[in-house]
């Protein structure tokens, strides 16, 4: 009974199982009538609806993207890629940045072997696809998901579009846009035209864009002459030109070349036998990119560096299609290059020269020489090479002294050697004594000891501060506040010194130097225009007086040869020679232009400087030799035909109120020494060292040193070596021993009557100038007799080239002409006086022991102590050793003619 009813169903149960439950919403989600978890699984209707929605949305986006994307004209973009640099005239092309070095070829002139190779290597389905390759896109997508090297699945058409419009794209969105443009380009252009444009624009390395320039860069031949073996390596380098260049990786390039040949065989473009017969071709050595060969390469490099400093990027410069106008004057640049080429033919190969010519009124660089060839030497000797400054640094001490109230006629001790506090010993070249000299004279003759004393007086930090305020970078190597900084221990560049001296030439206004005037876009709009910024580095009056002092070296000093080439134009400047003749400088200016010239010789490893190897008949290379010659050649030709402009006259500064505070330690007066014989060489100055030591900061001339012998001393009142053929005993004044102490008042007064009837003597004492600063220490020195009373000794005339003696003989001693009565010019930094006052100064007695001696006696004494052959009946008198002169430095300049003139004046 129970078994029979076991399978029976309740009444109505069959009807309930077959009845559907109504959906609660349009999507029927969650599904009605279903139990968990089935009610959460989407129905087929929902899945199909979602897929249809996505397809419609995708199609809509594709339609919008297709209609919104346009294919640009390829020629517009191609022309916008070449940036050209011009000289200041805007017409003469200096060069171009050759990443866009392209020569387009018509489609029928591109050889078939190149077309076949690129199709086999880059896109074997090129002639079948419609601009995109779905198979390639899927392959790249799968590869990227698997973590392989990122691929884009690009066809040749897509690569063509990438280079003409989108740029390099790796994102999926970018690739989608690129694919749409490829579809449109494929519809608008033939396959052969797309392939030709691609081969005309693709970058092959070595600065070559397009197959024609690539053929020249790799094989030095036209593309039409390429063989099958030569076409394959050009195609092989396309993925990464720099990496696969045979010059960089021959093995890798060979493997890629073999891959291209293998694919060509697979595409039946050649037979296996033809492929086996091919050998990897030999390529030529790569040339420097951007056409930087020769001297113009330094200019182009400087233009690029300045643009980058102004915010341009490398890619923008290389592909922006800019018209760049520089400040370089083509005529001045030609003169600059020629000036260096004019150097003697025996100039050593490792002798290096850098020059910069600048307009001080704007800061624009008008000419630059950084080297002979940028390809063989990329370092710019004008803007990058550094060399020790030497005496050109004295200009900063000169300016600082003027600013601190010391006028040009303030007096300083120019004797040599001289030991300062701290044991710092300084010598002049050849150890020449100059006596007490004005600041202006110290500049003209580049007197080390006088400038060392001035630097200690104002403080070495003032020299450093002045250099920085005039534009020298604070981080210049060797620029410090040590005592020796006045002697040029710092190592600036030539461009920096041109900029600094330009501040002096422009009346104290500092302007940064620059070489780029303007940058214009391809559409003619301005991308960049230089704007000059000015800062007042020093007062204009100080700059004027500094210019007055700096006119000494080019007229009477080490650079006086410029008088023969500048045609009377006023020139101001300073020579410099560093320690052991390791560098030589001349930095000078006219009212129109400033030019800096530096010469040095690097060591074999390029880490240090060597002594300049002599050449051109010069025994030592100094600032007064070839640097001055180069400067003159540049400036004389560059200013030819320009108006002559004069420098302003010296002005009296309102701040001339300072007095000397540094008093040198008393030293025992040295015994007279025999003067060195004159030599034919003319080194400009003694080289300087970088920091003060117990030794002299200057080195001796690297030639055989001329011996000096001390004059024998004796207790006899008369020197034993005095020639017996001198003046008759009747006229002879009893010789006096060298004074060792200041004469008493009685001694001075005893000769008071001897002055009766003599012309009136100036009130100005030796060692005291006209300015308010006045160098008043000179009066104290004179009263102590430290600079007077020593026997006068005849020596050769020191060469104005910073102290070297000349072998010109007495007949060539030149004196500046005496001005006529009332003439308005200065003599030795002082205001001019009438002729009668000049005679008074000429015969003015010394202070101390000689203060009251008759002038005739002084003349006689100087005559007895000078060699007889220097005192002819009417010729010029012997120059006397500056260490033995009266501080006024007049007695040693007397001649027999002047003595007679003075006596005639007294008789009248």
Residues carrying an active site annotation: 122, 391
Query: Is the Cβ–Cβ distance between 770 and 830 less than 8 Å?
Result: yes
Residue 10: how many other CB atoms lie within 10 Å: 7
Angle of helix 448-458 relative to helix 460-469, nearest 10 degrees? 90
> How far is it, in rounded angstroms, from Cα 754 to Cα 445?
37
Six-digit token pair at 607?
């880490």
Residue 517 phi/psi, 5° resolution? -90, -45
Edge-to-edge order in the sheet of strand 352-358? 365-369, 352-358, 594-600, 583-589, 572-577
CA distance 861 to 76: 92
Give the span between the Cα atoms of 843 and 759, in whole angstroms: 9
The reply to whether omega before 37 is within 30° of 0 (cis) is yes
Q: What is the spatial distance between Cα 810 and Cα 877, in angstroms, rounded to a whole number?
A: 7
The answer to whether the beta carbons of residues 464 and 404 sit under 8 Å apart is no
Query: Phi, psi at residue 232, to the nearest 5°?
Result: -65, -45
Q: How far apart are CA 765 and CA 755, in angstroms?
A: 17
* Burial letters 844-863, b for 16+ CB under 10 A, else e: bbbbbbbbbbbbbbbbbbbb
What is the phi/psi pair of residue 871, to 5°? Answer: -115, 75
**Cα separations (Å) of 553 from 86, 397, 408?**
37, 16, 15
Q: Both tokens of residue 393?
A: 């640094």
Question: Burial, 363: exposed, middle or buried (Cβ in 10 Å; 0-12, 13-18, 19+)?
Answer: buried
- Half-sphere exposure (Cβ direction) of 48: Cα atoms closer than 13 Å: 3
Q: What angle do CA 875, 881, 886 make, to 5 degrees?
A: 95
Supply 281's token pair. 């071709």
Dist CA 637 CA 563 (whole Å) = 14
**Would you tell me the crossing angle of helices 250-266 and 112-122 to the nearest 10 degrees?**
90
Are 515 and 326 a contacting pair, CB within 8 Å? yes
Structure tokens at 480: 């410090």
Q: What 3-state DSSP class applies to 436?
A: strand
* Contact indicator for 120, 263 with CB cutoff of 8 Å: yes
Which three-class secondary structure state does DSSP give residue 805? strand
CB burial of 584-594 (b: ≥16 within 10 Å; e: otherwise) equals bbbbbbbbbbb
Q: Which residue has the tokens 């024609």?
A: 212
CA distance readout (Å), 200 to 153, 215, 286: 22, 12, 20
- In whole angstroms, what is the distance from residue 559 CA to residue 802 CA? 9
- The dihedral through the CA atoms of 269, 275, 280, 281 has a sign that is negative
| Per-residue three-class SS string for 642-681 | CCCCCCCCCCCCCCCCCCCCCCCCCCCCCCCECCCCCCCC
For the CA atoms of 530, 536, 538, 539, the dihedral, rounded to the nearest 10 degrees, stands at 120
What pairs with residue 510 in β-bridges?
535
User: In this structure, is the dihedral angle defined by the CA atoms of residues 383, 388, 390 and 394, taken in order, positive or negative?
Assistant: positive
Structure tokens at 760: 């009136």
What would the two tokens of residue 351 be? 């002798």
């Amino acid at each position: 009974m129970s078994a029979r009813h076991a399978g029976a169903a309740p009444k109505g149960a069959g009807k309930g199982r077959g009845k559907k439950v109504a959906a609660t919403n349009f999507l029927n989600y969650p599904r009605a009538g279903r139990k968990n978890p089935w009610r959460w699984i989407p129905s087929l209707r929902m899945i199909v609806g979602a897929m249809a929605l996505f397809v419609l949305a995708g199609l809509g986006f594709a339609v919008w993207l297709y209609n919104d994307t346009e294919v640009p004209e390829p020629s517009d973009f191609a022309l916008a890629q070449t940036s050209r640099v011009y000289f200041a005239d805007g017409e003469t092309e200096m060069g171009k940045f050759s990443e866009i070095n392209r020569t387009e070829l018509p489609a029928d002139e591109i050889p078939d072997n190149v077309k076949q190779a690129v199709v086999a290597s880059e896109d074997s389905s090129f002639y079948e696809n419609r601009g995109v390759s779905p198979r390639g896109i899927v392959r790249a997508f799968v590869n990227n998901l698997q973590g392989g090297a990122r691929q884009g699945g690009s066809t040749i058409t897509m690569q063509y579009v990438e280079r003409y419009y989108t740029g390099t794209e790796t994102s999926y969105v970018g690739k989608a846009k690129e694919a749409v443009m490829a579809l449109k380009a494929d519809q608008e252009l033939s396959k052969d035209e797309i392939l030709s444009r691609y081969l005309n624009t693709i970058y092959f390395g070595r600065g070559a864009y397009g197959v024609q320039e690539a053929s020249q860069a790799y094989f030095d031949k036209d593309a039409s002459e390429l063989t099958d073996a030569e076409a394959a390596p050009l195609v092989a380098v396309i993925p990464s030109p720099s990496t696969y260049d045979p010059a960089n990786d021959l093995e890798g390039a060979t493997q890629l070349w073999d891959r291209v040949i293998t694919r060509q065989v697979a595409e039946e473009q050649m037979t296996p036998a033809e492929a086996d017969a091919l050998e990897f071709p030999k390529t030529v050595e790569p040339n420097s990119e951007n056409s930087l060969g020769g001297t113009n390469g330094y200019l182009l490099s400087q233009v690029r560096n300045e643009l980058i400093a102004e915010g341009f990027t490398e890619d923008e410069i290389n592909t922006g299609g800019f018209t760049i106008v520089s400040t370089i004057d083509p005529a001045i640049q030609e003169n600059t290059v020629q000036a260096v080429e004019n150097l003697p033919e025996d100039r050593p190969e490792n002798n290096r020269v850098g020059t910069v010519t600048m307009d001080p009124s704007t800061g624009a660089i008008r000419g630059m020489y950084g080297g002979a060839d940028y390809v063989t030497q990329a370092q710019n000797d004008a803007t990058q090479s550094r060399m020790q400054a030497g005496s050109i640094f004295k200009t900063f001490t000169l300016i600082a002294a003027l600013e601190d109230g010391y006028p040009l006629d303030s007096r300083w001790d120019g004797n040599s050697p001289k030991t300062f506090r701290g044991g710092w010993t300084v010598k002049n070249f050849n150890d020449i004594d100059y006596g007490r000299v004005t600041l202006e004279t110290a500049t003209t003759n580049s007197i080390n000891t006088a400038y060392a004393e001035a630097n200690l007086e104002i403080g070495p930090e003032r020299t450093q501060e002045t250099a920085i305020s005039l534009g020298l970078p604070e981080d210049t190597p060797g620029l410090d506040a040590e005592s020796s900084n006045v002697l040029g221990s710092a190592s600036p560049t030539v461009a920096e010194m041109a900029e600094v001296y330009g501040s002096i030439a422009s009346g104290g206004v500092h302007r940064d130097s620059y070489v780029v005037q303007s940058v214009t876009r391809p559409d003619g709009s301005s991308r960049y225009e230089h704007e000059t910024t000015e800062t007042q580095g020093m007062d204009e009056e100080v700059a004027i007086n500094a210019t007055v002092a700096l006119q000494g070296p080019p007229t009477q000093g080490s650079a006086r040869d410029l008088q023969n080439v500048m045609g009377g134009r006023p020139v101001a400047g300073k020579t410099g020679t560093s320690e052991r003749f390791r560098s030589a400088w001349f930095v000078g200016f006219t009212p129109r232009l400033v030019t800096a010239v530096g010469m040095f010789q690097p060591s074999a490893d390029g880490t240090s400087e060597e002594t300049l190897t002599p050449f051109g008949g010069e025994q030592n290379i100094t600032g007064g030799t070839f640097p001055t010659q180069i400067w003159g050649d540049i400036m004389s030709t560059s200013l030819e035909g320009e108006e002559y402009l004069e420098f302003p006259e010296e002005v009296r500064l309102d701040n001339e109120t300072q007095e000397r505070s540094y008093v040198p330690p008393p030293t025992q007066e040295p015994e007279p020494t025999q003067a060195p014989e004159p030599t034919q060489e003319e080194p400009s100055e003694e080289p300087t060292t970088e920091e003060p030591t117990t030794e002299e900061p200057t080195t001796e001339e690297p030639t055989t040193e001329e011996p000096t012998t001390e004059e024998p001393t004796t207790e006899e009142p008369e020197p034993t070596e005095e020639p017996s053929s001198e003046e008759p005993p009747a006229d002879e004044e009893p010789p006096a021993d060298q004074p060792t102490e200041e004469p008493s008042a009685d001694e001075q007064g005893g000769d008071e009557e001897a002055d009766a009837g003599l012309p009136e003597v100036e009130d100005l004492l030796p060692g005291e100038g006209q300015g308010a600063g006045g160098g008043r220490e000179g009066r104290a020195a004179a009263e102590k007799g430290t600079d007077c009373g020593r026997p006068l000794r005849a020596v050769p005339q020191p060469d104005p080239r910073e102290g070297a003696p000349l072998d010109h003989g007495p007949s060539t001693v030149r004196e500046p002409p005496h001005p006529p009565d009332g003439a308005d010019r200065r003599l030795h930094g002082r205001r001019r006086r009438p002729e009668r006052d000049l005679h008074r100064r000429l015969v003015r007695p010394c202070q101390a022991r000689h203060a009251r001696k008759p002038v005739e006696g002084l003349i006689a004494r100087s005559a007895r102590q000078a060699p007889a052959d220097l005192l002819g009946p009417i010729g010029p008198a012997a120059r006397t050793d500056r260490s033995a002169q009266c501080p006024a430095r007049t007695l040693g300049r007397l001649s027999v003619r002047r003595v007679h003139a003075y006596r005639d004046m007294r008789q009248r």
